[in-house]
Structure 1
C-alpha cells in the first residue's frame, strides 16, 4: 500500500524499477567517496559468508552493501531542499522561522489554530480546515499534552485543562538500540583528527570543488548490512553501519588519531519507552525515556548482534588494518558482552511510535492520521508508526507525509 508513495518521493539516479522512483523531489544517488574501506567491508562480509547486495531497498534486504545517499552532485539533499525551498515563492505558503509552538488551540474538541512564540512575541494562527502536527516523535506528543490531549492523570499533575483523555499519547516510544565498535588504524583512507588526517581533509576540498567527489561527499556511514540473528527469521533484525572514522559518544569524545567504526543496531526491539511532560511550560524539554533493553530479549539479541559484527570486524580483509581495539579489547565472555552493551549502547536517532496509529485503546491517531476524539487535527510524522520499522526512518517519514496528502485530499493511489 505504501510502495507507491516511496516511489513518488524518490529521484534515484541509478535504480529504476518497481521498487524505486526516478521523478520525485528527493534525490538519491550512489556514494561518490571512492573510499576503499567500502571494499574492505564487503570483502570481510564475503569471508563471513554474507551475501552482497547493490540495493537494500529492493526485493531482498538481507546482505552487505554500500548505502545510497540522499545527495545531488555530491551535496546533501534534505527534505527541506526537496519539498520546501522550491516552493517558497508560492502565494499559499508562509514560512515562519525562529518560532516555538506553545500549544494547539481548541474550540470544544475541534482544533482551530496554534499559538506560537516568536522572539518575545506570542502569536496566534487560526485555521479554516485542519491543524497538521509534524513535530516528531518527541515534540508531537509533548504539544498534544501541553494542549490538553493526553492521559488525564498526567495532565492533572501539571494543572493542564483536559480537552480529551487519550492515554496513549507519549506511550509506545521505540528506538533502535545501537552499539559501536571502534578501532584505530594507520590507513590514510579514514577520516581522523591526526595531523596527517587534517592535511588530507584540507587537500580533499579541491577534489570536492572540482569533481564533487571524495572525502567531503562522505556520509561517513558508507557501507553496512542487514542481517539476521537467527536464520529462521522472516526478515533481518540487525543493521550495521560501517563508518570511515572513529566514533565515540556520537563524536563528542575526540580521539586525535585515524580510525574506523561499526555500528550494530537492533531493528525490532521489544522494549517500549515514553515521552512525558516535565512541566506545563512549553520551553521545558520533555522527559524522554527510551527504555532501552527494558525487555530482556533485546539484550540477548544485541549479544548475538555483537558476535556477528565482531566476526566481520575480525575477518582478514578488515583486521589487517586494525591497530587498536578501543572499546572491546577485554570483552571475552557473554557476560562481558552484556556488560559492555549496557555501558555503551545508545540511540541511533530513529525514535517513533509515541502517537501511534491504530484503533485500540492506546492508539492516538486513526488510519487517516486523525487524532482520536478530536476534530480538525492530524499527526503526520514518525510518531504515528505503531511499531519500529526495519531500517532508517528518514525516507519512511517522507512517505507518511506523501500518503497523508492523498488522505487529506480524499484520494487513493495505487501502484
Structure 2
C-alpha cells in the first residue's frame, strides 16, 4: 500500500473490541463501566432495526436474509453425501443473538469441568456459574443457580401448544424425567426451554448490554466496518485496520485488541493478519507473521436430524397459519398482547437424554416444534405436523474454517466434517431410533403420527441404513465453536486467560475458544465468555508476551 493509500488515523483507544455479538456486547458494557477506559467496538454488520429480528417467529425469515445474515455456506460435506449447507451467522448488532432461536441453555457442569481438566484453570463449573448468574435476569426467584438483577432477560415462553404437552407425556412414558431446570448443571429430562425474551419480544445482546452503555462518552460503536487485518509491532498487537463505506482506517489499541468475531470470523481475521497455519497464510499470498497451527481447526457443531411427523387431531402452526384469516388472527393477537404464535421461539419443547444406556450423561438434545417446512425461509407445510430434531451434543468429528482470499469480504471455506467418524454415525443412527420410539409411544397413538422425513421406517433398522438416512436429512443447528481453542498444547490458540499464544496485546473472547462444544445451545456460554474476558482484562493481565514455540 502506498503512502497515498495508507489508512487514515482513527485514533487510540485502550481496548479495541472486534465484533458486536454476544460476547462483544458484554465486553463493551463491562469495560466501558470504568470511565477511565476508552473502548471502541467495531461491528462489520449494521443495525438490528428490522422487524424479523425482534418478533420471535421472525427467526424463520431472518435466517437466509442477507440484510441480517452473512449467508455463509459450507463446503460440500462428505458425511452428508456431498451436500452444502446454509451456515447462518448474525450480520447485525447483537450478532447471532439477533437471529438465533432465543433458547437460554448453559450446557452441563461436566462440560466446563472437562475444559478445566484439559489444562484451563478457572473454567470449571463452579468457576463459571457466578459469571452466568452475573448477567442473568431470571423469571424465578434468585437462588444458587439463578440471579434476577442482570441484563440478560430469561423468561418462560408465552404460549403452549397442547400437542407439545402430549409429546412431553410420551417422553415420560419412555422413562425420561421431567426437568425442573435445564440450567442447574444437569439438563437431563423433558421440559420447555427458557428464552431470551422480554414481554414477547426478542431480547438480544444489543438490548441487554449495549443499550445501557451507549450514552457513556468513553464508548464508541462503529457499524458497517469490516476489519481488514490486525497491526503488530514485533510480537505485540497494536491495533487494527478496518474499512467502511468512507475508506480505510487504522485504530491503535493502548492496552489490547479483543477478537469477538465468532468461530467463523475470528480465525479469518487472524489469518488475514498473517497469524495461523503457515500453509493457509501462504496460500492467501500474505506474509507469515506468527505461526499458530490451531487457528481455524477444531471446528465443532451440533448436527440436527430434522425428522418430520404428520399428525391428526391436534393443531400446529401449519394449519393455524394456513389461511388468510388465520394469519390475520395471529397478527392481531400479537399486536394486542405480544403473545400467540408470533411470540413463540422456534423450538418450545426440549428433551435431553441418552442415545443409548451406555452413555454416562445426556448426549442428545431434542428440539420439538409444532410446525414443519422444507427449510427456514420456506413456506410452512399445509397439513398439521411436528418437527422432531435430534442433536448429538458431543460430536467426535473435528472440522475447519479458513480464509479463502485476502479480501475480508470473501466467504471462508467452512468444512464441519459431520458424520466423519464411526462414533458419530452410531449416535446418529441411535438418535433416529430414539425419535421413532418417542413418536410410537402409546400416548401419541391418538394423533396417528406418520413419519414424513426421512420416511416411514422401523426403529430397529441396522446402523448403516439409519446413518445413511441421517446423511440425507442432517443440517446445522448453528452452534459452531472451537476454531481458536484455549489450552496449553501445541494446537491451542489461546491460554486459559484468553491471550493468544506467543503474542501480547491480543485476546479472543467468543465461542471459538471452546476446547470442546457444550452440551446445549451456545448463546448463554458466549455471554459467559464475555463476562470472563471482562474480568481478565480488568485485572490487567493482557500485556505480557507469552513465550511459545509455534509450529512452522
* TM-score, normalised via structure 2 length: 0.71
- 2:480 equivalent in structure 1: 351
Q: What is the CA-CA distance between 1:307 and the residue it aligns to?
A: 1.1
- 2:336 equivalent in structure 1: 210
CA contact (8 A) 1:247 1:260 kept: no
- 2:132 equivalent in structure 1: 6
- 2:510 equivalent in structure 1: 381
Distance across 2 between alignment mates of 1:336 and 1:268: 22
CA contact (8 A) 2:239 2:253 kept: yes
2:364 maps to which of 238, 245, 251: 238
- 2:531 equivalent in structure 1: 402
Distance change (3 Å), C-alpha of 1:188 and 1:311: closer
Q: Does 1:391 align with 2:520?
A: yes
Distance change (3 Å), C-alpha of 1:371 and 1:411: closer
Distance change (3 Å), C-alpha of 1:253 and 1:374: farther
Distance across 1 between alignment mates of 2:321 and 2:147: 43
Distance change (3 Å), C-alpha of 1:185 and 1:214: same
Q: Does 1:145 align with 2:271?
A: yes
CA contact (8 A) 1:357 1:365 kept: yes
Distance across 2 between alignment mates of 1:28 and 1:349: 20
Cα RMSD over matched residues? 2.0
- 1:38 equivalent in structure 2: 164
* TM-score, normalised via structure 1 length: 0.94
What's the CA shift string for 1:71-97, capped at 9, x where partnerless?
111211111111112221111111111
Summarize the alignment of residues 71-110 of structure 1 with structure 2, pairs less than 5 Å apart.
71-110=197-236
1:305 maps to which of 431, 439, 456: 431
Q: Does 1:326 align with 2:452?
A: yes
What's the CA shift string for 1:250-301, capped at 9, x where partnerless?
4547534432211100001100000112122211110000000111110101
Q: Does 1:272 align with 2:398?
A: yes
Distance across 2 between alignment mates of 1:233 and 1:171: 27
- 1:368 equivalent in structure 2: 497
Q: What is the CA-CA distance between 1:321 and the residue it aligns to?
A: 2.9
Q: What is the CA-CA distance between 1:133 and the residue it aligns to?
A: 0.4
Distance across 1 between alignment mates of 2:329 and 2:495: 53
Aligned residues: 412
Distance across 2 between alignment mates of 1:3 and 1:53: 19
Partner-residue secondary structure (3-state), 1:264: strand
What's the CA shift string for 1:215-241, capped at 9, x where partnerless?
121002000111012334332100000
Gaps of 5+ in 2: 1-126, 542-552
1:199 maps to which of 325, 350, 355: 325
2:287 maps to which of 158, 161, 172: 161
Gaps of 5+ in 1: none
Distance change (3 Å), C-alpha of 1:209 and 1:249: closer
